[in-house]
Amino acid sequence: MKQIEQLEAICNRYDCQLLRNEPLCKHTTFRIGGCAAAFIDINGSDVLAELVNYCNENDLKWMVLGNGSNVLVSDEGYDGVIFSFGKQASRIEFLDDCRIRCEAGAFLMTVAKAALEESLSGMECLSGIPGTVGGALYMNAGAYGSEMADVVISAEYIDEDGSLKTVLRDHMDLSYRHSMFSGTKRIITSVTFKLHEGKYDSIKTEMTGYLNQRRAKQPLELPSAGSTFKRPVGSYASFLIDQCGLKGASVGDAQVSIKHAGFIVNTGKATCKDVLELCQFVIETVEEKTGYKLELEPVLLR
C-alpha cells in the first residue's frame, strides 16, 4: 500500500520504526487480537503530529496504544495505523515544587518508583495500575480511593487537527473513568503531576501494601484487561457478578475469574469473540437477577 510506504518514509526521517501486519496480541495485556496494518513505535510529539496529519489527510484509520492494559482487540485486527507509546516516549523529568513531568509512554509504576526515590508522596494508590500515564489519564484511572484527577495538574496533547496544546486539570472534564480525551482523537503526549513531600519509608510501606493487596485479590497470573466492568452507581460489579454465581463461567478460554469476579481472564487461547460473548452473558444475567446494567470498561479496538 502506497500510503503505508509514505508513513514509513516519515518514520525514517524521525528514526522511529514502522512494522507491517503486526500482531496486536503481542501489545495488549489480554494477549488477544489480530494484526494492525501498520504499527509505529512513536519517539516524539513532532513525528506523531506529522503522522496524524498524514493519516487525516489520506483517510487512514488510526488509534493510539499505550501498554494495552485496558484494550480488547478484534480477532480480525485493525485495518489502520496504531501509534504506540513505548520506551521511546517514556522520559520522566523532575521539576520544582514537587512536580514530575512524564511522557505519555511512562508506566505508572515507574513514575511511582521514581517519586519514591525522591521521597515524593501521592502516587502510592496508583502504583500498581498496569498502564502508561497517557492511558491512565485518558480514562482517569484509579484504585483504592485515589484516581489520576488527584495528582495531575496539566497535560500536553495533540488535538484532532494535529496541533499541540496544553490543558490544565480543571479543564480536563475528569470524572469516574472519564476525561476530555475519552472517545476523542486527542492524543496525550505528556502529563505533569503535582505530589508532596513525604518520608521514604512510609511511602514505600504504603506502596508495598497496595501491591500485596493486588497480588492477593486479583488474578495477575493470567492475561486480562484489568477490571472488565465499570462500577455501577450504588454497587460494585464484582459483588453483583459473584452474587449471581458467575465466578468460573466461561466461553472458550475466556473465564470470569475464580479469584476476582470483576475480571474476565484469558486462560489459554481466548478470542475476542469468546470474551464478548461471555461479557454479554454476564451483563444479561446480572441485569436479570439484580436490575443493574453493567458496562464494559475496556476499549474495543476493531
Domain ranges in the chain are 2-88, 90-217, 237-296
Q: Which of 177, 206, 224, 238 is catalytic?
A: 177
The stretch 209-228 carries a mean pLDDT of 94
Overall fold of domain 2-88: 3.30.43
Dist. CA 157–CA 103, nearest whole Å: 11
pLDDT of 141 higher than 90: yes
Q: How far apart are the first and last CA of the chain?
A: 20
Q: What is the pLDDT of residue 161?
A: 80
Instruction: Cell numbers for 59, please give them.
Output: 483517510
pLDDT of 45 higher than 90: no
Q: What is the pLDDT of residue 86?
A: 79
The stretch 84-89 carries a mean pLDDT of 85
pLDDT of 150 higher than 80: yes
Q: What is the pLDDT of residue 163?
A: 86
Q: What is the pLDDT of residue 256?
A: 98
The stretch 185-191 carries a mean pLDDT of 95
221 is catalytic: no
pLDDT of 28 higher than 90: yes
The stretch 102-113 carries a mean pLDDT of 96
The stretch 10-27 carries a mean pLDDT of 95
Q: Which of 190, 227, 238, 257 is catalytic?
A: 227
Confidence of residue 260 (pLDDT cuts 50, 70, 90): very high
Is 274 in contact with 241 (CB distance < 8 Å)? no
The mean pLDDT of the chain is: 95
The stretch 11-23 carries a mean pLDDT of 95
Residue the block writes with cell 501489545: 27
295 is catalytic: no
The gap from C-alpha 263 to its chain's centroid, in whole angstroms, comes to 15
Q: What is the pLDDT of residue 293?
A: 97
Dist. CA 13–CA 240, nearest whole Å: 52
pLDDT of 282 higher than 80: yes
Instruction: Cell numbers for 168, please give them.
Output: 490544565
Percent of the chain whose pLDDT exceeds 70: 100
pLDDT of 68 higher than 80: yes
pLDDT of 162 higher than 90: no
Q: Which range, of 63-72, 146-155, 289-298, averages the lowest pLDDT?
A: 63-72
pLDDT of 180 higher than 80: yes
Q: What is the pLDDT of residue 217?
A: 92
177 is catalytic: yes
Going edge to edge, which strands form the sheet with 99-103? 92-94, 99-103, 187-194, 152-158, 164-168
Residue 251 forms beta bridges with which residues? 254
Return the C-alpha torsion angle 53, 54, 57, 62, nearest 10.
-80
Q: 152-158 and 78-85 as β-strands: parallel, antiparallel, unpaired?
A: unpaired
Against a cut of 0.75, is the pTM above it? Answer: yes
Say whether 284 sits in a helix, a strand or coil. Answer: helix
Q: Which of 22, 103, 147, 297 is catalytic?
A: 297
pLDDT of 165 higher than 80: yes
pLDDT of 1 higher than 80: no
Overall fold of domain 237-296: 3.90.78
Q: What is the pLDDT of residue 160?
A: 84
Q: What is the CATH number of domain 90-217?
A: 3.30.465.10
